[in-house]
């Protein structure tokens, strides 16, 4: 089984790493940020409510995100999942704990990706994301090579946009919210013996290789 959390500040590379791990390990990738952005794009009541918090760089209320994750985890499926961007606070972690114990699906590991604040500000400021395939690029560190989008018809290029909440004022607030509300989860999971730490300032491949050493092998391998 592989039941994992990717924990780390905004800009640590969780989305990039999660996308690769999902494909290689056949995991369901659950990213609350992506689910919320989809609700915003659809213009649902929940999306309109969430957008106010997201644009301000604040956390969306726990009840909303906990409900989204609970619904998806309870929906059957393989039980192999990777949570990205959730939990983001101690109450969310407690709620997750209760949900997983009700479902009889304990976590295997919480992978914490560490990156310094200066580096995060640099990364988030130049970030561009494809609306179709979800891959993220960086103006300076990882420019979009202009190749066809893997989610398109093979001829289209990626449809890049900058997230509203990647504006400099909002970035700094999101990092403070991370320090105050999410960083305590490092000790929370360390004290439960679940924490695995990786250095997020290495190359994407090196970070990936560090993470893989912490993923339990599938049964029978
Ligand atoms: P992300 O894509 O993970 O950086 O999330 C973007 C924004 O969505 C965050 O700044 C929050 O406003 C909101 N969000 C995502 N995940 C959560 C969560 N677990 N709890 C509360 N808000 C969240």
Instruction: Give the separation between CA 140 and CA 126, rounded to whole angstroms.
Output: 7
Contact 10 CB / ligand 1 (< 6 Å): yes
Looking at residue 220, its pLDDT comes to 60
- Residue identified by tokens 């690769």 is 20
Q: Per CATH, is 3-116+180-212 categorized as 2.60.40.10?
A: no
Q: What is the mean pLDDT of residues 153-157?
A: 93
Domain boundaries in the chain?
A: 3-116+180-212
- Residue identified by tokens 């301000």 is 56
Q: What is the mean pLDDT of residues 159-188?
A: 93
Looking at residue 52, its pLDDT comes to 94
Q: Residue 219: pLDDT above 70?
A: no
Looking at residue 221, its pLDDT comes to 58
Beta bridge partners of 130: 160
Indicate the burial class of 32 (C-beta count within 10 angstroms; 0-12, 13-18, 19 or more): buried
Best residue for ligand 1 mutational test, from 11, 36, 173 (most atoms within 8 Å of Cβ):
36
Instruction: Give the separation between CA 122 and CA 29, rounded to whole angstroms.
Output: 26
Q: Which residue, by CA, sits nearest to atom 1 of ligand 1? A: 33
Q: How many Å lie between the centroid of ligand 1 and the Cα of residue 144?
A: 25
Q: How many Å lie between the centroid of ligand 1 and the Cα of residue 139?
A: 23
Closest ligand 1 atom to the C-alpha of 177? 10
pLDDT > 90: percent of the chain: 85
Closest ligand 1 atom to the C-alpha of 88? 19
Looking at residue 78, its pLDDT comes to 76
Cis omega before residue 87 (within 30°)? yes
Q: Are the CB atoms for 100 and 70 separated by under 8 Å?
A: no
Looking at residue 109, its pLDDT comes to 97
* pLDDT one-digit tens code per residue, 25-80: 999 999 999 999 999 999 999 999 999 999 999 999 999 999 999 999 998 777 89
Q: Which residue, by CA, sits nearest to atom 12 of ligand 1? A: 54
* pLDDT one-digit tens code per residue, 84-119: 999 999 999 999 999 999 999 999 999 999 999 999
Which token pair is 174? Answer: 């999101």
- The residues, any chain, with a CB within 8 Å of residue 182's CB and separated by 6 or more, are 7, 9, 88, 89
pTM: 0.89
Give me the active site residues, please: 14, 88, 127, 163, 174
Rounded to the nearest 5°, which phi and psi values hold at 83? -90, 135
Report DSSP state, residue 139. Answer: T
Instruction: Give the separation between CA 204 and CA 102, rounded to whole angstroms.
Output: 35
- The residues, any chain, with a CB within 8 Å of residue 192's CB and separated by 6 or more, are none
Q: How many Å lie between the centroid of ligand 1 and the Cα of residue 137?
A: 19
Report DSSP state, residue 76. Answer: -
DSSP string, 144-199: ---PBPTTTTSSPBP-EE--GGGSHHHHHHHHHHIIIIITHHHHHHHTTT-EEEEE
């Amino acid at each position: 089984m592989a039941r994992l959390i990717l924990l780390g500040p905004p800009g640590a590379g969780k989305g990039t790493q999660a996308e690769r791990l999902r494909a290689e390990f056949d995991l369901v990738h659950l990213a609350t940020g992506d689910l919320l952005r989809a609700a915003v794009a659809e213009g649902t009541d929940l999306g309109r409510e969430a957008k106010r918090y997201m644009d301000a760089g604040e956390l969306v209320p726990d009840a909303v995100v906990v409900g989204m994750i609970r619904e998806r985890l309870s929906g059957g499926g393989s039980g192999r999942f990777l949570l990205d961007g959730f939990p983001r606070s101690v109450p969310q972690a407690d709620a997750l704990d209760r949900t997983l114990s009700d479902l009889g699906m304990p976590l295997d590991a919480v992978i914490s990706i560490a990156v310094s604040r200066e580096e995060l500000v640099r990364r988030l400021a130049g970030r561009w994301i494809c609306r179709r395939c979800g891959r993220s690029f960086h103006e300076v560190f990882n420019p979009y090579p202009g190749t066809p989008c893997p989610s398109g018809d093979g001829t289209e290029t990626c449809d890049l946009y900058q997230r509203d909440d990647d504006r400099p004022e909002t970035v700094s607030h999101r990092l403070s919210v991370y320090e105050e509300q999410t960083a305590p989860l490092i000790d929370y999971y360390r004290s439960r013996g679940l924490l695995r730490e990786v250095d997020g300032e290495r190359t994407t491949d090196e970070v990936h290789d560090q993470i893989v050493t912490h993923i339990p092998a599938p049964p029978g391998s």
